[in-house]
Chain A
Amino acid sequence: MSTAVQGRRGPRFYLAMAASKAAASGLKLLHRNAGQLPGVIAEKLDPAFITHIDKPERIVFVSGTNGKTTTNNLLNDLLRDNGVDLVDNRAGGNILTGVESTLVKNAGLSGRQRVQTAVMELDELSFRRVLPHVTPQFLLVTNLYRDSFSRNANPDFIFSVMSEHIPASTRLILNADDLISCRLAPQNRNRVYFSMGPLAEDTPEPQGIACDLTACPECGGKLEYDYCHLRHLGHARCASCGFTNPDPTYEVVAVDRAAHTFTVCEHAAPGEPTYTYRFGVYSLTNLYNLFAATVVAREMGISPDAIAASLERGINVTAARYAEREVGGKRLVALASKGENSTATSVALDTIRREPGDKIVVLMLADAHKAESPVTTEYIGWYYQADFEYLTDPTFKQIVVQGVTNEDLLLRLRLAGIDEERLVMVKTPEEAADAIDLTLSDTVFWAYDIFNGDDVERSRERLIKRIEEGSDVR
């Protein structure tokens, strides 16, 4: 299957290709990640570069508000472990110039693609710039929630942008539990759904103080939920028009947290067989991401046995979003979520809340990079959509808050009902480490904006030093 939509090439294209490849090579020599730079250079020299460059025969895009990076990375690992020679955009970025950088990386000077499979993450808003020129064979959409308001506005808007640009020939792999994204691109009949059946931790209604699905998306009628797994993801029916979740082809029918396994029934296959796969660290988001990656792999023809074997070999959620260490009997866990994304932050806080035992949490939610500029300010309105109320759980013994938006967070945390006595406000990552009172709990979580990873490591390393020096009492 050809996935190329290629325009007529001219001197600008060849100049753009040469310059972007030179930039990529130069950065490689400097041991630096090329990032989006090759794509930026290519766009500058040939604004229609994306139409001109060859595309691999098979392209898979992974998109959706939450989980796309993790799922894409998992899928890359899973496919590579099964001998699929592929190119990815882990280093290139998930917008147009990131996709272009990836294609440049995979191209010779003539523009011909070396590897014929590309598995890439694609930002939802970038559908309008990428999909007119690139036709993926498969498109996975993990879910749609509210995201950064300043950039993505609201789920209705993103839904419209995505729906408008999804090609009719692309095989859509959609989350049947999400009554928003499962309706994407109704013009496309080539679609398959995945779903998780009822789970032990389900709630009867959507979770959180700001719900993205408050009424039937078809008629505006009242939705009656059977259960919710995660926020509005679950099973519901409209009392007015009968709209409900589509039937899944792939369904998780059992989760054994003790054995670290989940079982998938493939309803479209003869005899509706079931297959059991292993997961690593349990969280519902991890499970959704892993499950979605396995579904794409199955659609790409990887056998259940091969997938199961890869997962047994340790293919799992990458450390970029979840990193746990144990030092001196203390459990130190860093859990990232996207900044200005209230859903991801709420899910992270809820995940921490559900962890057994008492805990201390360090909030590092203010974007440290944005704070570096003296003439920019971060939009903090999203704090009022995020469920800081989860932190009122009595297992949170101490809440340390670090960042330039501390004053805003303090007010929001107080409005959430958090006692002043449990709150510590600090300015730097090091002060956050010093403020942690290890007499209160042996478990410390850092809940942080994904771009604050370096600050989190500085904070955690300082705490580790404290522990190793034996000064673990304030």
Chain B
Amino acid sequence: MSDSMQKNRGGAPVIEVLFPEYGNQAGDNGNVMYLRACLPNATFIETSHGAEPYFATARPDLIIMCGMTERQQKTVIERLRPYRDRLAELVDDGVHMLFTGNAPEVLSRVIRDVDGDSIEGLGLLDVEVVRNMASRYLCVQVGEFVPEPGAAPLEVVGFKIQFTQMKGDNSSTFFIKDSAGWGLDEKSVLEGFRVNNLIATWIIGPLLPLNPPFTAWLLSQVCGTDDVTLAFEEEARAAYEKRLKELKAPGMHLAY
């Protein structure tokens, strides 16, 4: 294993943020903001438009990409297409990845607009995206995340606001099982994908600061130690507990 393939553990991981200048819709930038606060010793590599991704020749401990505009999504797909196979290799190799908001759609087979246009995705997720820019799909999310078989589930909370519905089967590769809100489409209760250590979820905004239990698990995996400290943990957990209770109320939905 070359130096660049060494894992960067012990609280000083290497985290690659893909297209940070785009991935800030809906407050998704809050994820990296919180990672930076939690991991002051980590190395953050921001790969912007026009730059070669760090992962092209190295092995980061975490790759993160967040929600963007539909126009930027098209650009990102084309920018990442030359690195598609490398990205697939890293998924197979167990590199941690977190794609949030509409970023998972970049990994889909195809994004099909109801008006007839379509964009070929990177094809890392076996899912077809159906996009209708005249429709806004909204829901709150409460779902169980099982870190590993037999482990106690963690509850993940959040929001989904999107123009898309997904066609695909994630019955054995879902991220969370919803008790509130819907998953790949409005008829599904299985949200997102988890393929090896790739987590792809349509939950938007500050997923990590809103979910201290999940974030603590993710950081322990990325850093290779259970000895992780969440930034402003007391405040984060207070907000989480309140939200969990609120979103579990029957009929709870996003004000629109």
**Residues of A that sit less than 8 Å from B by CB:** 146, 149-151, 153-157, 160, 209-211, 214-215, 220, 222, 342, 367, 370, 373-385, 407-408, 410-412, 414-415
Contact = CB atoms under 8 A, between A and B. Distances in A.
16 contacts: A149-B25, A150-B136, A154-B69, A209-B24, A215-B49, A376-B252, A377-B255, A381-B27, A381-B159, A384-B33, A384-B206, A407-B235, A408-B243, A411-B209, A414-B235, A415-B209
B206 A381 contact: yes
A370 B255 CA distance: 7
B33 A415 contact: yes
Contacts of A378: 254-255
A367 B37 contact: no
Contact of B27 (A155, A367, A385): A385
B236 interface: yes
A163 B2 CA distance: 52
Given A149-B25, A156-B71, A215-B49, A379 B159 contact: yes
Contact of A379 (B21, B22, B209, B255): B255
Most buried by A among B70, B163, B255, B256: B255
B255 A415 contact: no
A300 B5 CA distance: 67
A411 B256 CA distance: 24
A374 B136 contact: no
A442 to B, nearest CB: 31
Contact of A382 (B26, B34, B138): B26
Interface of B: 21-22, 24-30, 33-34, 37, 49-50, 69-72, 75, 133, 136, 138, 140, 159, 161, 163, 204-206, 209-210, 231-232, 235-236, 238-239, 242-243, 246-247, 249-256
Contacts of B22: 214
Contacts of A155: 69
B29 A375 contact: no
Q: Which of B70, B72, B235, B247 has the most CB of A within 10 A?
A: B235
B117 to A, nearest CB: 13
Nearest to A213: B21
B251 to A, nearest CB: 4
B209 A151 contact: no
A384 B232 contact: no
Given A379-B205, A384-B206, A415-B33, A149 B252 contact: no
B216 to A, nearest CB: 15
Interface of B is mostly: mixed
B235 A375 contact: no
A95 to B, nearest CB: 14
Contacts of A414: 232, 235
A150 B25 contact: no
Given A374-B249, A382-B27, A150 B254 contact: yes
Nearest to B205: A381
Given A157-B69, A377-B255, A381-B30, A215 B204 contact: no
Contacts of A370: 255
Contacts of A209: 24, 29
A375 B248 CA distance: 10
Nearest to A382: B27
B231 A415 contact: yes
Contacts of B231: 415
Q: Select the residue from A151, A373, A380 with max chain B CB neighbours within 10 A.
A: A380
Nearest to A371: B255
Nearest to B251: A375
A408 B247 CA distance: 14
Contacts of B25: 146, 149, 153-154
Nearest to A367: B255
Given A150-B256, A151-B136, A156-B69, A385 B239 contact: no
A385 B249 CA distance: 28
Nearest to A151: B256
Contacts of A375: 249-253
A408 B133 contact: no
Given A151-B256, A375-B252, 7 more contacts: A150-B256, A154-B69, A214-B49, A379-B161, A384-B33, A384-B209, A385-B27
A215 B21 contact: yes
Contact of B133 (A157, A210, A220, A384): A157
Contacts of B30: 381, 383-384, 412
Contact of B163 (A153, A215, A222, A383): A153
A149 B161 contact: yes
Contact of B205 (A151, A222, A384): A384
A153 B206 contact: no
A415 B34 contact: yes
A381 B232 contact: no
A377 B247 contact: yes
A377 B251 CA distance: 11
B247 A153 contact: no
Contacts of B26: 149, 379, 381-382, 385
A411 B254 contact: no
B27 A384 contact: yes
B204 A381 contact: yes
B29 A411 contact: no
Contacts of A211: 21, 24
Contacts of B242: 407
Centre residue among A382, A411, A414 by max chain B CB count within 10 A: A411
A220 B254 contact: no
A381 B101 CA distance: 11
The 6 nearest A-B residue pairs measured at CB:
A381-B205, A384-B30, A381-B27, A384-B27, A214-B21, A407-B239
Contact of A411 (B239, B249, B251): B239
A157 B70 contact: yes
A382 B204 CA distance: 10
A270 B249 CA distance: 67
A460 B70 CA distance: 43
B43 to A, nearest CB: 20
A444 B229 CA distance: 37
A377 B33 contact: no
A214 B68 CA distance: 12
Contacts of B232: 411, 414-415
A389 to B, nearest CB: 10
Nearest to B158: A381
A412 B236 CA distance: 9
